[in-house]
Amino acid sequence: QKEVEQNSGPLSVPEGAIASLNCTYSDRGSQSFFWYRQYSGKSPELIMFIYSNGDKEDGRFTAQLNKASQYVSLLIRDSQPSDSATYLCAGERDTDKLIFGTGTRLQVFP
Amino acid sequence: DAGVIQSPRHEVTEMGQEVTLRCKPISGHDYLFWYRQTMMRGLELLIYFNNNVPIDDSGMPEDRFSAKMPNASFSTLKIQPSEPRDSAVYFCASSHDRYEQYFGPGTRLTVT
């Protein structure tokens, strides 16, 4: 079992819809979780992190963490074609290291 | 700031050759990470440094891989000898704390 698991997708949503990206993790010791966005052929860039149970909102993005269920999600409201990318979920391990999932590819069509 | 700088951006080499990848982190960042990304395995941490000291190299696949950070502004990842299965995109990332890692543009390595 991988430490951080994501559905590879693609997840296809129409423009303006809510995209829901999900991630599960196996290490209960992980405290913080990160969402990175990676456009094709580019490097990952951090869009959000969360370390408390509940929701954290930043503009159109909402990260959700449920430590009891070992579940992390990212919601993108009013999805735009420019949001089409691969979204990587990462869990923090041993305080300094990030363990990445393999990513979910999101496609937003007009 | 120019961001994390990596060179070369593309490298094509023959099996058995030595490959050296270079990274200049963002000034003031204490952490430097080397990752490898492939379609099959995703983004894998190879090694990371804190204040130029290697902290965890458990992700380095085998002895053919080595990494150094002689000073705060430069790091290298060396593969000797290279093999076709080393073909991947290698990223360097830096951060001033563990929460936000800034990635370089990556080096696409092809070993034939």
User: pLDDT band at residue A50, thresholds of 50, 70 and 90?
Assistant: very high
Q: What value does the mean pLDDT take over residues A49-75?
A: 94
A49 CB neighbours in chain B (<8 A) are 99-100
Q: What value does the mean pLDDT take over residues B75-103?
A: 93
Q: Which of A32, A49, A101 sits opposite B42 (nearest CB)?
A: A101
Q: What value does the mean pLDDT take over residues B64-82?
A: 97
Sorted by sequence, the CB contacts under 8 Å of residue A35 that are 6+ apart come out as: A21, A46, A47, A48, A49, A61, A63, A74, A87, A88, A89, A90
The DSSP secondary-structure symbol of B85 reads G
A94 CB neighbours in chain B (<8 A) are 56
Residue A49 CB neighbours (<10 A): 19
pLDDT at B69: 98
Q: Is the pLDDT of residue B97 over 90?
A: no
User: pLDDT band at residue B1, thresholds of 50, 70 and 90?
Assistant: low
The more confident residue out of A94 and B75 is B75
Q: Is the pLDDT of residue A88 over 90?
A: yes
Q: Which of B31, B42, B104 sits opposite A103 (nearest CB)?
A: B42
pLDDT at B16: 97
pLDDT at A1: 60
Q: What value does the mean pLDDT take over residues A17-46?
A: 93
Residues A76, A87: Cα–Cα separation, whole Å: 11
User: pLDDT band at residue B100, thresholds of 50, 70 and 90?
Assistant: confident
DSSP bridge pairs for A54: A65
From B24, B33, B69, select the one nearest A92 (Cα to Cα): B33
SS3 A3: coil
A46 and B100 within 8 Å at the Cβ level: the answer is yes
Q: Please count the residue pairs, one from chain A and one from chain B, whose beta carbons lie less than 8 angstroms apart.
A: 45
Is the Cβ of B25 closer than 8 Å to some Cβ of chain A?
A: no
Tokens representing B12? 């094509």
Tell me what the pLDDT averaged over chain A comes to: 92
User: pLDDT band at residue B62, thresholds of 50, 70 and 90?
Assistant: confident
User: pLDDT band at residue A23, thresholds of 50, 70 and 90?
Assistant: very high
B91 CB neighbours in chain A (<8 A) are 43-44
Nearest CA in chain A to B57: A97
pLDDT at A62: 97
Nearest CA in chain B to A42: B105
A44 CB neighbours in chain B (<8 A) are 43, 91, 103
User: pLDDT band at residue A12, thresholds of 50, 70 and 90?
Assistant: very high
pLDDT at B98: 66
User: How remote is the C-alpha of A41 from its chain's centroid?
Assistant: 19
Shortest alpha-carbon distance between residue B40 and chain A (Å): 8
pLDDT at A96: 74
